[in-house]
């Protein structure tokens, strides 16, 4: 084929590589996909030019990405773990859930959420095996004006006293242990009993954990309680509550810690046992017209 009809086309070189790629994208495509793809490729090319990897080093990177894909299945999502650990998930959440300062901020949901938490009555226990230091959690859900959000639906889940979620130990913990779905009363209140969670390490038995551990990245999470709060007419809250006394607050591997999400767990006596109690208030924002809850 003659090159005469392509006189204006750039020749691929170190200096023009990303431009040559971008030229081949169709300007007729809908949405931001062409621009987003061009930006991603430009950043990749810039990194290659900056670090100048050898062919063997580049093949090692490809092998790592391949291993991440092989490690992902219906029970484990290694790609989500990679997104979480490099802060990409937290950044996307931050950009898409800007709220007034007094509202409860969103954090990422994490990999151990289940959508089938059983409905439990206020005052009941989500600890089905009773193993651990007793914990009493009192919750109030309200709006920005301090008015109660009656009937708000609250899903909660947590790790046990050894730092493991129930779906990490299906043979050691009861089904749906430390999980529950509660409904706030007319005053926006409910309470439940549990056990004090422990901090834990994120999975390090796969390619993502191994790579970051090799780079010296901290793979610990501080002790926390997870919550998803939903109510008609309000933006859904997905968030954590952290124990103020946890020594790993400053190095949460998933970047979820915010000052307003750190709570004091106070000593009390529960059923003649020494335990802890925490009082939590979640502040919801009404859905804006045209914006999904």
Got the DSSP string for 184-226? --TTSEEEEEEE----EEPP-SSHHHHHHHHTT---EE--EEE
pLDDT digits (tens, 9 = 90+) for 262-291: 999 999 998 889 999 999 999 999 997 755
| Residue 136 forms part of a structural domain | yes
Q: CA of 205: how far to CAs of 87, 129, 165, 220, in Å? A: 20, 27, 16, 14
**DSSP β-ladder status, 134-143 and 189-195:** antiparallel
Length of the chain: 293
The rounded distance, in Å, linking the Cα atoms of 154 and 231 is: 9
pLDDT level of residue 72 (50, 70, 90 thresholds): confident
Looking at residue 6, its pLDDT comes to: 47
Q: Is 180 in the same domain as 38?
A: no
Beta strands in the chain (DSSP E): 134-143, 153-158, 179-183, 189-195, 200-201, 220-221, 224-230, 237-243, 262-263, 266-270, 273-284
Task: Confirm whether 59 is domain-assigned.
Answer: no
Q: Please indicate, yes or no, if residue 4 is contained in any of the structural domains.
A: no
Residue pair 208/85 in contact (Cβ under 8 Å)? The answer is yes
* Residue 63 domain flag: no
The answer as to whether 289 is a domain residue is no
Helix axes 55-70, 207-214, angle to 10 degrees: 130
Q: Are 283 and 144 in contact (CB under 8 A)?
A: yes
**CB-CB contact of 114 with 158 (8 Å):** no
* Residues 94 and 38 occupy one common structural domain: no
Q: What pLDDT digit, counting tens, does each position of 140-156 carry?
A: 999 999 999 999 999 99
Tally of domains within the chain: 2
Res. 97: pLDDT tops 90: no
**Closest among 102, 100, 93 to 255, alpha carbons compared:** 93
Distance separating alpha carbons of residues 33 and 37, to the nearest angstrom: 6
Considering the domain architecture, whether residues 142 and 265 belong to the same structural domain is answered as: yes
Question: With the CA atoms of 160, 105, 217 and 211 taken in that order, what torsion angle do they form, in degrees rounded to the nearest 10?
Answer: 80
**3-state secondary structure at position 8:** coil
The boundaries of the domain holding residue 21 are: 10-52
Pair (129, 228) in one structural domain: yes
Between CA 28 and CA 36, with CA 31 as vertex, the angle to 5 degrees is 100
- pLDDT category at 2 given cuts 50, 70, 90 is very low
Q: Does 189 share its domain with 267?
A: yes
Q: Report the pLDDT value the prediction gives residue 280, as an integer from 0 to 100.
A: 98
Any idea which of 16-20, 67-71, 73-77, 283-287 has the lowest mean pLDDT? 73-77
Residues 177 and 129: beta-carbon distance below 8 Å: yes
Task: Give me the sign of the Cα torsion angle 169, 88, 70, 209.
Answer: negative
Structural domain contains residue 65: no
Q: How confident is the model at residue 75 (pLDDT cuts 50, 70, 90)?
A: low
Asked whether residue 171 is domain-assigned, the answer is yes
140, 20: one domain: no
* Same domain as 264, residue 180: yes
Same domain, 44 and 149: no
Among residues 286, 291, 283, 290, the alpha carbon closest in space to that of 103 is found at 283
Average pLDDT of the residues in 3-20: 76
Q: Is 225 exposed, middle or buried (0-12, 13-18, 19+ CB in 10 A)?
A: buried
CATH number of the domain within which 157 lies: 2.60.130.10
Whether residue 117 is found in the same domain as residue 20: no
Record the tokens describing residue 38, joined without a space.
């061009």
Within a domain: 143: yes
Planar angle of CA 193, 107, 122, nearest 5 degrees: 20
Does 146 lie in the same domain as 255? Answer: yes
Averaged pLDDT for residues 238-252: 94
Q: Does residue 195 share a domain with residue 85?
A: yes
Q: What is the pTM of this model?
A: 0.81
Residue 212 and residue 111 in one domain: yes
DSSP-derived secondary structure letter, 155: E
């Amino acid at each position: 084929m003659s090159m005469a009809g392509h006189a204006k086309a750039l020749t691929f070189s170190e200096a023009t590589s990303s431009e040559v790629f971008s030229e081949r994208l169709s300007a007729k495509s809908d949405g931001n996909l062409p621009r987003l793809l061009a930006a991603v490729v430009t950043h990749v090319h810039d990194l290659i030019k900056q670090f100048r990897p050898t062919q063997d080093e580049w093949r090692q990177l490809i092998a790592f990405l391949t291993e991440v894909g092989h490690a992902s299945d219906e029970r484990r999502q290694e790609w989500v773990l990679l997104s979480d650990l490099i802060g990409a998930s937290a950044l996307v959440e931050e950009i898409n859930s800007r709220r007034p300062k007094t509202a409860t901020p969103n954090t990422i949901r994490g990999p151990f959420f289940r959508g089938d938490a059983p409905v439990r009555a206020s005052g009941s226990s989500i600890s089905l095996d009773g193993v651990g230091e007793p914990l009493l959690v009192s919750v109030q859900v309200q709006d920005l004006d301090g008015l109660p959000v009656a009937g708000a639906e609250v899903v909660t889940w947590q790790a046990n006293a050894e730092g493991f979620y129930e779906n990490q130990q299906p043979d050691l913990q009861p089904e749906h242990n430390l999980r529950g779905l509660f409904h706030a009363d007319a005053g926006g209140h409910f309470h439940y009993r549990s056990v004090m969670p422990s901090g834990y390490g994120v999975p390090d038995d796969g390619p993502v954990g191994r790579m970051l551990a090799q780079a010296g990245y901290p793979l610990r999470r501080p002790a926390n309680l997870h919550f998803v709060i939903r109510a008609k007419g309000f933006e859904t809250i997905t968030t954590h509550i952290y124990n103020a006394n946890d020594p790993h607050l400053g190095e949460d591997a998933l970047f979820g810690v915010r000052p307003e999400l750190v709570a004091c767990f106070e000593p009390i006596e529960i059923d003649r046992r020494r335990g802890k109690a925490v009082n939590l208030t979640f502040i919801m924002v009404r859905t804006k017209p045209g914006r999904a809850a």
